Amino acid sequence: MERVYNFSPGPGVLPEEVLARVREEIPNWHGSGMSVMEMSHRGKAFQSIIEQTEADLRDILGISQDYRILFLQGGGNLQFSMVPLNLLGVKRTADYVDTGYWTARAMDDARQYCRVNVAASSADTGFTSAPAQDQWRLDPRAAYVHYVANDTATGVEFHWTPRCGDVPLVADMSSNILSRPVDVEHFGLIYACAQKNLGIAGLTIVIIRDDLLGRALPITPRMLNYKLHAEKGSMYNTPPTFAIYVAGLVLKWLKNSGGLRAMEQRHAAMSSLVYDFLDSSSLFRNSVQKSDRSRINLPFTLRGPGLEDRFIRHMEERGLVNLHGNLGLGFRASMYNAMPIEGPRRLVEAMREFEKMHG
């Protein structure tokens, strides 16, 4: 199979073992005589798939029985509304820590339901850092504190877990979930769309502490009510069955590949290869503060003007694809769990070559 090195921010690269397994199982899943795409979501076969997927996610992330895992649709974007609709309760304010593109999207939706207190922001540094906890001005009346654990667009990642006392901490982990161990007990709610580290588009995972269920605003559409989804075991309506099946295969692959510690080491190795090159380069540059650099999404710019198209062509000719930056600005290399280490090695080699030609 001729494969490229896919640096897409999402949907992103999948493990080849998972692709092979899907191909093998498509016509006839485990002797059922049908593919997962054709199964009833209420049948025994699919029930076993969703139960195993949940059990593996619990096991890998160490999620206790105090938390529910919901398999939803609507992407990270729908969580921008579901979080305030479900967590505000009788409160009118929520805290948001602003690290750029994805927080802006989350706040725009939250403002339809509550007052958004920007507790901290890195706007003054051009969103090139994660505001330190001592800069956070939390509102004591806030229903929850929301932050984006890894901003896929700006390439800023929190390498520490915030502490917010009794106020539930909500994290958008869309682009760094399962990339290293995390202490779920510190969070009220974690959400992530699946098309980066968990499989394919169409599925969104929500991990929510039990006591936060049942606070939905009366205007909340039933389909957007976490409690209903929890009560029905994510079967309030037809869940994204195929995406859940693929997530299950990805989780098995992750376990067989050494778990979260191995993923953490893999990301440290991959990202330092690329950052070390960027920091020594006369042509390329990453401007995120070193302590807050994302290990997953690495944005960079070219110093020389007019070379952008040539650079993309140079990379594509070497099988290095999807390096365009967010909204077409600059470049970005996204390296999810399934990226082989050969990917960043080839990337740096090709960038060095380009620098020799144009630097």
Footprint of ligand PMP (CB under 6 A): 9-10, 75-77, 102, 148, 152, 172, 174-175, 193
Residue number, 203 or 348, with CB nearest to ligand PMP? 203
- 290 as an active site residue: the answer is no
Residue number, 176 or 281, with CB nearest to ligand PMP? 176
* Nearest distance, CB of residue 74 and ligand PMP, angstroms: 7
Which pairing describes strands 115-121 and 93-98: parallel, antiparallel, or unpaired?
Answer: parallel
- 196 as an active site residue: the answer is yes
Residue number, 156 or 212, with CB nearest to ligand PMP? 156
Reduced to 3 DSSP states, what percent helix, strand and coil does the chain have, rounded to the nearest 5?
A: 40, 20, 40
Distance between CA atoms of residues 233 and 229, nearest Å: 6
Say if CB 151 and CB 106 are below 8 A apart. no
* Nearest distance, CB of residue 104 and ligand PMP, angstroms: 11
Residue number, 8 or 52, with CB nearest to ligand PMP? 8
Question: Of 343, 39, 350, 76, whose CA–CA distance to 193 is shortest?
Answer: 76
Side chain identity at residue 324, one-letter code: H
- 172 as an active site residue: the answer is yes
Selected catalytic residue, list 196, 227, 252, 292: 196
Say if CB 353 and CB 38 are below 8 A apart. no
Say if CB 73 and CB 202 are below 8 A apart. yes
332 - beta bridge partners? 299
Distance between CA atoms of residues 177 and 203, nearest Å: 14
* Nearest distance, CB of residue 50 and ligand PMP, angstroms: 20
Distance between CA atoms of residues 98 and 271, nearest Å: 24
Residue number, 75 or 168, with CB nearest to ligand PMP? 75
Selected catalytic residue, list 109, 151, 172, 292: 172
Distance between CA atoms of residues 11 and 198, nearest Å: 10
Selected catalytic residue, list 56, 102, 252, 292: 102
Instruction: Provide the CA 123 distance to its chain's centre, in angstroms.
Output: 22
Question: Of 230, 255, 234, whose CA–CA distance to 243 is shortest?
Answer: 234
Residue number, 100 or 281, with CB nearest to ligand PMP? 100
Question: Of 147, 207, 151, whose CA–CA distance to 175 is shortest?
Answer: 151
Question: Of 140, 104, 143, 96, whose CA–CA distance to 120 is shortest?
Answer: 96
Catalytic residue set: 102, 172, 196
